[in-house]
Structures are given as C-alpha cells and as structure tokens.
Structure 1
C-alpha cells in the first residue's frame, strides 16, 4: 500500500514523524560537529582575530543547538507521531480485513462511523502534536476509496492481499532493518575503537617524544565521544535485536493463515498479527521514553 491509500491522519502523523526525526538527527549532528571543530580550535590555538571570530561563531552555534535540542524536544515529537501513525495503520488494516472491531455488518456506514470515531479519539488524545502534522493532507479522506475497495474483496482475496502486502512486506522490512542496524553498529563501534586506539598511540608517543609540538589527543577523544553519542542516539544494537525478534515472530504467525477458513478465524488471525506489530512499536516507544 502507498501512503495516500491510508487515512489522512496517518499521512499527517507519518510525515510529522519523518520531519521531526530529521530535525532531531540534524541538530544532534550539528552539535557534535561544533564540538569537534571547537576541539580543533582549542588544540591549534586562536592566533588572530579572524580565527577568534570563527571560533566564537562555532561555539555560539553549539550553544544555540543545545538549547534548541532541549526546548523543542524533536525526539519526543518524533516518537509520539510514529506511535500515532502505527496505531492508525493497525486499525486501517483491521478495517480493510473486516477484523474485530470492524466486522462485516448490514450497514457499512456503521463500521465507517466506528473507524472515524477511533480517529477522532486518537486526534483528541494527541492534540499537542498538531503543530507537527502535515497541513497539506488535512483536506483528504479519512476512509479512502482504496480501503473500501480492499474491504469489499471476498475472503480469499483479502487473505492473499493481507499475506502479501502486510505480513510479507513487514517481515521483509524488519529483516532488512535488523541487518542495516547491525551493520551500522559494527561500523560506528569500529570507528569508536579506531579513534580511541589512535588517541592511545599519541599519548604513548607524547611520552616517548615530548619535544614534538603536535599531539591532537584531545581532538581524537572528542571524536570518539561523538561516535559513542551517535551510537546511543541511533540505538543500533537495540533496534537490530528488536527488529530481528519481530521478524521471527511474524514468520511464526504467518504459517497460521493456512488454518484460516472462515471470517471469524481470519478476524482472529489479523488481530494476532496486528498485536505482534503493535507490541514491537509499544516496546520501542517505552524504551525511548524511559
């Protein structure tokens, strides 16, 4: 499914999540970059007015970014927008698959009304995120034509659609993200070890060759600290483990669709699958907050 096939509120929350995530990472990278540049100034010294002005600008930017990171709290907005988007996505799939609480009934308008009421409740609970939402989708449909088209499919077609476009796509996504985070963790850990090792070598050389003027140990230490901070910000190891576990859980759930023959059984299957997806996001949000 494409983003435009989901409710407008999902599109807004998803865009808000991506935007605030980008802001958070940009401000953190900018702050760490200023610290590294500042360490270079501290090491080489400030010998003229031009360098003094540049150094002052760098430290002012670092100060401004630290205040911005604390006051704007892009990280918290990112987490909450992501959680809202995933809640809406889960309910959307339940609606399309006619799963509880959106089972088939004589008047589909009743089901649509229940779904819209859910969105109203979620919007009311997350009003503080309104400034992060994408205004350009506010005039779009909450129950899209594509959602109703899928909902009108017969049981077998819905089973195939759910298996292909939800179960398998999510399993592939989690598997891919698990490997990506594992690779990035190895890369940044390697850089951390490298810069610490170089700092150690320079300290030893300073003992052996005290007459040499330049030993940029401080710069390497700051770079090492920046690597460690970035690893903590991105949480590569935690995400890799969580994504891998969810991918295996989805694989376990996937096989159960072979035993689904009725609408009631399919409803239970969809709810079990969506609970698996929701569990990963709930745990992710809880870890981020605490």
Structure 2
C-alpha cells in the first residue's frame, strides 16, 4: 500500500502533473516573449519621454522655472532643454518617433503661447485646475488600484495556503491522501506571492499616497499664500513631485 504522504499514480495525480507541466511551460514561454520584446522597458522609456515633454510644456506655458518671466529667450531655452533631455533617453534605448514622422512645426503650440501671454492669475488657475488637480486625482486612482491588487493577491495567497496547511497537518498524522494537491496548492500560493512582490503593490500604495499628500499641500499654497514672485519655483517643485523618477525613488525607499 502507498504511504499516506505519497500520491497514488492514478488519474487525478496524472491530471495534476499535467497541469503543472503546462504551467511551467507557460511561464517559460511568457518569459521568452518578454525577453524578446522588452515591452516593459520600452513602455517605461516612452512614458518617461512623454512625461518629460509634458512637464516642460506646462513649465513653459505658465512661466514655471526655468522658463519664468525673467528668461530672455524662453523658446530657445525650451528647445535646448527638451533636446538635451530626449538625448539622454536616446542613449538608453529610447526610439525617437520624430525620426519617422513628418515635421509637425515644433512642440510649442499656439495654445501654449496663448496661455503664456495670459495674466498671472489666469495661468495659476489653469495650472491648478488642469495639471495639479488632475495629477492628484491620477495618483489617488493609482493608490486605490494598488490597494485592490494587494487585497486580491493577499486573499489568494491565504486561500491557497490554508488548505495546503490543513492537508499537511492531516498528512502529518497519517490521515488521508492528498494526491499531490498539497504541493500544487503550495506552488500556486508561492506563485501568487512572487507576483504580488513583483508588482510591488504595498510600496506603490505608500509612494502614491505621499505624492498625493504633497500635491494637496502644494495646491493649498498655490490657492492661498503663494505670490507671483515664488510661482516659478512652485511650478518647478510640483513638476518634480509628479515626475516618474520621483515616484520610482519613493517606491525603492518605501519598503
């Protein structure tokens, strides 16, 4: 007779073994595709480029540093800073889409110039409404999504671990046979744990919460005590807070 902690070589065991083989093959195939496409790396580079351009466009349009009112040639400075930043991204593998597209006439649009020529109060109101508040909402949504993800995967880990623990206890006392179910449940729980750690839900919750709090404080200052003299520096600081690099730094240091 088979020992209690050994799986019998029956149909149920073969089904479990077959499912495990397919799962391992799926992991290997997915890893191979990811290594070939480098999708995540490309997405991060494109996002960094998009956020860098958007940030500089907002700074230029509302007189944020270094494109404040004291700048003698803001358009030339804008073009130089933009090219310098994008050149750094090209060095690490970013593919500049402008090389394959027809000339669109430059990145400074008529609406950007129109906003730049508005009065300080109009520029401030527009920036707070369309940039700062929108970013606060985005980070709040991301925080909520990370909370849902952490809760879902933590629940899955518990739901898979408890039956495996119960089966292990029963096997310890020689009660019943698991047909390999204990190992399958443990492997599934470990996979969920690894995925949860890779997604870094908990560090993201902390990072997005901190950014949202900083933006809330900045919004309060802009709407109350901030003067036009300190406006360029405040815009610069706001753009630094919402930059992907700042969020990544917070994630790495909020374990």
- Per the TM superposition, whether the score is higher than 0.5 is yes
TM-aligned CA deviation for residue 251 of structure 1: 1.4
RMSD, aligned α-carbons: 3.5
The answer to whether residue 8 in structure 2 is matched with residue 44 in structure 1 is no
Structure 2 Cα separation of the partners of residues 232 and 106 of structure 1: 46
Q: Which residue of 2 is the match for residue 112 of structure 1? A: 75
Match of 2:141 among 176, 182, 204: 176
Alignment of 1:44-83 (within 5 A): 44-45=13-14, 60-70=25-35, 72-83=37-48
SS at match of 1:129: coil
Taking structure 1 as the reference length, the TM-score comes to 0.69
1:124-157 CA distance string (max 9 Å, x none): 2122434485988665442223322322221111
Structure 1 Cα separation of the partners of residues 100 and 233 of structure 2: 36
The question of whether the paired residues in 1 share the 8 Å contact of 2:211 and 2:241 is answered with yes
Q: Which residue of 1 is the match for residue 6 of structure 2? A: none
Relative contact order: is structure 1 or structure 2 higher (C-alpha 8 Å, sep ≥ 6)? Answer: 2
* Bigger mean CA deviation after superposition, 56-65 or 116-125: 56-65
Runs ≥4 residues deviating over 6 A: 54-58, 134-138
Select the structure of larger CA radius of gyration. 2
Match of 2:208 among 243, 256, 263: 243
Q: Which runs of 5+ in 2 are unaligned?
A: 1-10
Taking structure 2 as the reference length, the TM-score comes to 0.77
TM-aligned CA deviation for residue 240 of structure 1: 0.5
Q: Which residue of 1 is the match for residue 163 of structure 2? A: 198
> By percentage of residues, which structure has more helix?
1
Structure 2 Cα separation of the partners of residues 134 and 232 of structure 1: 37
Q: Size of the alignment, in residue pairs?
A: 240
The 1:43–1:112 alpha-carbon spacing in structure 2 relative to 1, beyond 3 Å, is farther
